[in-house]
Chain A
Amino acid sequence: MADLRINLAGIESPNPFWLASAPPTNSGYQVQRAFDAGWGGAVWKTLGEPIINVTSRFAGLHFGGQRVLGFNNIELITDRPLEENLKEMLETKKLFPKHTLIASLMVEHKREAWHEIVKKVEAIGVDGLELNFGCPHGMAERGMGSAVGQHPDLIRQQVEWVKEVAQTPVIVKLTPNITDIRFTARAASEGGADAVSMINTINSLIGVDLDSWLPIPHVDGKGAHGGYCGPAVKPIALNMVAECARDPQVGIPISGIGGISTWQDAVEFLLMGASGVQVCTAAMHHGFRIVEDMIDGLNNYLDERGIASVMDIVGKAVHTYSDWGHLNLNYKVVARIHEETCINCNKCHIACEDTSHQCIDIVTDEMTGKERLVVREEDCVGCNLCSIVCPVEGTIEMVEIPSDQPPLSWNQRQAALAADRSCEAAQE
C-alpha cells in the first residue's frame, strides 16, 4: 500500500483527491458524505456576498453515445448566508479533523472586504484559502471572478491584501479565459500566493435548440455564456498546469483541476507538476463513490511500480515538456500496422489518403484474395493520424526509425545557419 498523503504548500491531506469548489461542496451534509466516501479534501463552494441564482443552470455535451463529455453552467457562488456556511464548515472540520477543508472566497475589490472574510473563515479552523479569480460568468460582470483573473495587476494586489492577514496557506484559483496563464500565475506568485490552482471553467455556449432556436440552457427565453468543464477540458487544463510547472517565475505548488475523472487523469496531472487534484464534473456525473476507484487505481499503479509515495511522482514529467523550438527535427516515427488485430475498416487508409500524406495502400493479396493495409514507410510523415482513428487499440503502432543524423532542433538549426552566415560575412 503506497503512501497517498500529500503536502501542497504546507497543506496536508490524506490523499490527493479533493472536491473542487462547486455544487458538490455546497453544504456540510454533502462534504461530510464526500469525506465518508474517501475524498481527501474539499474546497467549499465559494463564499461571498450571497447571490441569487437563476433556474435552468446546467447543460451537458453528449457525443456519440457517451454522456457528459463536457458540462456547462451559469451558476454563481454560494447562495447561502455566510453564517450558515461557517457553522457547517466548523461542524465538518470537527467531525473530520484529518481531512482537508479549504475555504474558497470571492469578494469585491476592497482591502477591508478581503480582510474581513479571511479572518472569519480562518477563525473556524480551515486548512487553507482559495481565492476564486476564475468564475467566468455573472460574477465577472460585477467585477469579480475572472474579471480579476484576467488582470495580473488586480490579482497581485488582492493576493497581497489577503496575505496581510492570512494565517493559513493561500491558493489562487486562475481562469483559463486568458491568452497565457503564466502571466496571471506569476502575478499570484509575486503577490505572495502559496500555491495556484487551475483551471476554473471556460466561456462556453453548449448549443442552440433546433426547434425553439433558444440557447441551451435558457432562462425564460434568454441565455448567457456559461463556464465549460468536464472531460473535454482536460487537455486545456493539463497544458496550463504543465506550463506553470515549468515556469521558474511561477515557482509555487499547483493544485490541478479540469476534466479529471479517473485515477489515470490524476496521475497525468501529478506527473506534469500538480501536487494534488480537484474534481467537480465527474462527481456530479456519478456521485462521490467514484473516488474509490481513484484511490484504488492510484495505489495499485504506484505499488506496481514500487513507488512508495504519491509525492514521488509529482512533477516527474515536467522536464520533458518544452518549447517547439527544442524538439528534435531528426527524430522519425512511422506507422506500423499489426495485421493480426486489424479488422479492415479502412479508416486509416481514408484518413491518410484524404487528409494526410497518402501513404497507406489497400493491397489485395494475390494468393488469398484478401485485402491488407500497407504503410509506405518512406512516405509516412509520422503524424499519428491513422493510429488515432484506428478503432482497435494497439493495432497501429508508431515505431521509431533510427536516424543516422545527430539530434537537431529548430533553434539549433537556426543558430547554426546564423553562425554560418556570419562566418560567410566575415570571410567576405
Chain B
Amino acid sequence: MQTVAFHSYRGGVGKTLLSVNTAVQLAKFGKKVCLVDFDLRAPSLQSYITSESVFSLDQNDFVSFTEFLIGKGSPEEVINPTKLENFYVVVSDIEILQNKSQTRSKLTQHGEGRILAKLFEFIRYCNSQEFEFLIIDCMPGVTYRSLDALVVSDKIMIITRPVKSEITGLGLVISECYSKLDDTKFYAIMNQIETIQDLKNQPNQMDLKIAQDNLKGIASTLKNNNLEIDILHSFRRVPFVTERIYVLLEDPHPFTKEIQEFCQKLISL
C-alpha cells in the first residue's frame, strides 16, 4: 500500500480539490483507495462526499476519524465504503471546531504522540485490508498534525502555486521539515498555473514578468536543496472550478483530463 499525503506550506492552494479528485479517479482506474480527511483544523471532505449522490452517503452515516484518534472508534468503523467500487472515505468531524468541543479537549489530553501512534495503527489496518492507496488530505503548514501525516506517508505531494509568498515558504518547509524525513519521496505539484493564452491576454507587462519570475523561483527552490524535488505535474487554473468531484461527471470536464494524467503518473511512480 502507498500512503500519499497532499501537503502545502500555505492554505487554500488546492490540496482538498486535488486529493479528492485524485482518490476518486484512482478508484475509477480500479485501485482500492481510502481517502482520509486529516485536516482536523477545517475538515471539508464530508461536504464534498455527501453532495455527490453516486456515493449515497448521508450526513449521519459517518463515525468521525477524530473518534478513532481519541480511542473511541475502530478503524473499521471510520472507513466508509461508498457506492463507487473500490472507493472508501474517512471523514473528520466539524465538532472539533465548536466552542465546547469534547473531542478537541480529548485530543489535547491525548498528547501529541498518541495521535501519531493511532495514525500508524490506522495504516497497519489499511494495509491488512489490501488498500492500494491511502490518500491523506493534510492541514497546511508545519503543525503537529501535519507533521504526523508527513511522518506516516511514503510519498508527499507538495502543492504550490507560483506566487511569491509560497516560494519563501516552500524553501523553509523543505529545509526545516521535508529534508528530515529520510526515506520519504517528495514530488511537487504546481497548481493554478496560468495558461499561455491567459498570459497573452494579460495586458500588464509587470504582472506577466512577476508570474514568469515566480515560476522560475519555484523551480530553483525545488532544485536548490539536498532533496532535488521534481515537478510531477502542473495543473492549469481552470476557470469556474468549484468544490466538486469533476472526475465523476459524465461529460468530461477539462479538469478531469488533467487529473487522469496525474493519476497515471502517480500509479507508475
On whether the two chains bind one another, the answer is no
